[in-house]
Structure 1
Amino acid sequence: MRLRASDHETTVTARGTRGPAVLLVHSLGVDRRMWDPVLDRLARGRRVFAYDVRGHGSAAGAPLPFTMAAAGADLVAVLDALELDTAHVAGLSLGGAIAQTAAVAAPQRFASLTLMAAPDRPVPEAFEQRARLAETDGMTALVAPTLDRWFTPEALEADTEGVRYARECVASFDPAIWASIWRGYGGLDVYERLRDFPAPVLALAGDADASIPVEGMAAIAGRIGGGAKFEVVAGAPHLQTLERPDEVADALDRFLPAEIDIP
């Protein structure tokens, strides 16, 4: 479905007809299809929604510059458009940073928060370097190093469906939008600001993540109020859903409530 998110339109994929609402927020450089491998599992007893973040996919035409504040406001606007007072929100990487930004601004809209390979503070030098490389050399120069951060060597060698999808997304990205997103990502401002967050939190780390190691995600979980439940997805790289979908779905299924059929 198409809906309004703040100052632009986006597209939402929906699965499930009953149960608690779950909103999924994807990583930088891809789009809502990143969640496709886990949607059907999560939709058993839940209503699951995945939307395109501003600057990505069907929301590529959103106004620039990209800012974390605007992306966080978009998440709340999507909840409003879906007529959801609250939802269980899960975000991966940039999606997790956006979810944290929205959680700081509007904690009452969260039934729970799941952070998957998601930072709570930026690395400005690295983010600026990725922005400049897109502007000077174009997206072709970014495809290989980006996929190296996102996938295991085994997946890259096998050229899996997930790798092919991610490669297509990055190669077709507008360099100016890519640069604006990375610079906006550098404005992430949630460090130690979720210590009073009232809802349950799950932090998922991949033990093959080249971007955010297990120790880094464990530290992030420890900075959240009350402590987050922490799990490690065996064999998972940065883009967990595209290489270890069953294991990710298992972890989310254990954490997220669902409406159970009663015989």
Structure 2
Amino acid sequence: MAFVQLAEGELRYQLDGPLDAPVLVLSNSLGTDLHMWDIQMPAFTAHFRVLRFDTRGHGQSLVTEGPYSIEQLGRDVIALLDALDIQRAHFCGLSMGGLIGQWLGIHAGDRVQRLVVCNTAAKIGTLEVWNPRIETVLRDGPAAMVALRDASIARWFTADFAAANPHQTKQITDMLAATSPEGYAANCAAVRDADFRQQLALIKVPTLVIAGTEDAVTPPAGGRFIQNHVQGAEYAEFYAAHLSNVQAGAEFSDRVLAFLLAD
């Protein structure tokens, strides 16, 4: 377990894979931690030095007063790269991590070699979705996080996958119950306020967009919108709900590797 010291506290990270391999940064979704990528690690570390981290407000990283912004979270990624003396890296983020990836592509493209954004959109949800959730979490604390965990199963996975993989489903959703209520609410605000619909054309790095056919949180139309507004972007869609990296597993990993390893 390792930490980088930011101005306000520590950011937890983990590095795996060959020391001399290109770096691939993985960014977690809202309500999970760096272990949401465990299923990808054998495939990804065969080719890359993989850098995972707990986004501010999640896992064992710092929890500071909210609300947060995607810019703030993106600057945390740059600070992490700077601290580890990594000038450029590939970046793959899912949901909120995909918003962070979009911000990096728009504002820090010189630090990104190839960009993968998964189960995300240029704008996710509405005030009517986010504000009541933020209010409930701040009011009810850990009890609200447990309730969100139980409700997340149907959002994060299709019913057939959840029924066939109860242990794996529980491992992932337990991350949500363990998330700091204050950190979760602060990150909800970051997702609520992010809107890159008018800026996507500024992304010039090679980009792959991944969507889940059954994703009600960020439907495929949002991924297609990103593809249509980022010049040359590629698109892939898997039978999955919101956490396509978990549900599509090896198929997801293979498609990401094919994109990152392309000439």
The alignment's TM-score, normalised by the length of structure 2, stands at: 0.90
Q: 1:5 to 1:221 in 2, by over 3 A?
A: farther
Q: Indicate whether 1:172 and 2:178 are aligned.
A: yes
CA contact (8 A) 1:133 1:142 kept: no
Q: Indicate whether 1:238 and 2:242 are aligned.
A: yes
CA contact (8 A) 1:9 1:62 kept: no
For the residues of structure 1 that align with 2:36 and 2:10, how far apart are their CA atoms?
19
Alignment partner of 2:150 out of 144, 149, 153: 144
2:61 aligned partner, one-letter code: A
Q: 1:170 to 1:45 in 2, by over 3 A?
A: closer
User: CA offset at residue 63 of structure 1?
Assistant: 4.3
CA contact (8 A) 1:28 1:94 kept: yes
User: CA offset at residue 32 of structure 1?
Assistant: 0.3
CA contact (8 A) 2:59 2:178 kept: no
1:77 aligned partner, one-letter code: A
The answer for the alignment partner of 2:133 in structure 1 is 130
2:256 aligned partner, one-letter code: L
Q: 1:248 to 1:153 in 2, by over 3 A?
A: same
For the residues of structure 1 that align with 2:209 and 2:27, how far apart are their CA atoms?
15
Structure 1 runs of 4+ with >4 Å offset: none
Q: Indicate whether 1:102 and 2:104 are aligned.
A: yes
The answer for the alignment partner of 2:234 in structure 1 is 229
Q: Runs of 5+ in structure 1 lacking a partner?
A: none
For the residues of structure 1 that align with 2:5 and 2:26, how far apart are their CA atoms?
17
The answer for the alignment partner of 1:74 in structure 2 is 76
The answer for the alignment partner of 1:11 in structure 2 is 12
User: CA offset at residue 6 of structure 1?
Assistant: 5.1
Q: Indicate whether 1:251 and 2:255 are aligned.
A: yes
- Between 123-132 and 134-143, report the one with greater CA deviation: 134-143
SS at match of 1:139: helix
Q: 1:194 to 1:6 in 2, by over 3 A?
A: farther
- Between 134-143 and 35-44, report the one with greater CA deviation: 134-143
1:228 aligned partner, one-letter code: A
SS at match of 2:60: helix
CA contact (8 A) 1:86 1:110 kept: yes
SS at match of 1:195: helix
User: CA offset at residue 255 of structure 1?
Assistant: 0.6
Deviations 1:137-170 (A, max 9, x none): 4223322222211111123224533311222122
> How many equivalent pairs are there?
257
Deviations 1:55-94 (A, max 9, x none): 0001143443322221010011111112111111110000
Q: Runs of 5+ in structure 2 lacking a partner?
A: none
For the residues of structure 2 that align with 1:37 and 1:55, how far apart are their CA atoms?
23
- The share of aligned pairs that are identical, in percent, is 28
The answer for the alignment partner of 1:40 in structure 2 is 42
2:118 aligned partner, one-letter code: M
The answer for the alignment partner of 2:222 in structure 1 is 216
Q: 1:107 to 1:222 in 2, by over 3 A?
A: same
1:4 aligned partner, one-letter code: Q
Give the superposed CA RMSD: 1.9
User: CA offset at residue 212 of structure 1?
Assistant: 1.7
For the residues of structure 1 that align with 2:186 and 2:73, how far apart are their CA atoms?
12
Q: 1:104 to 1:8 in 2, by over 3 A?
A: farther
CA contact (8 A) 2:40 2:249 kept: yes
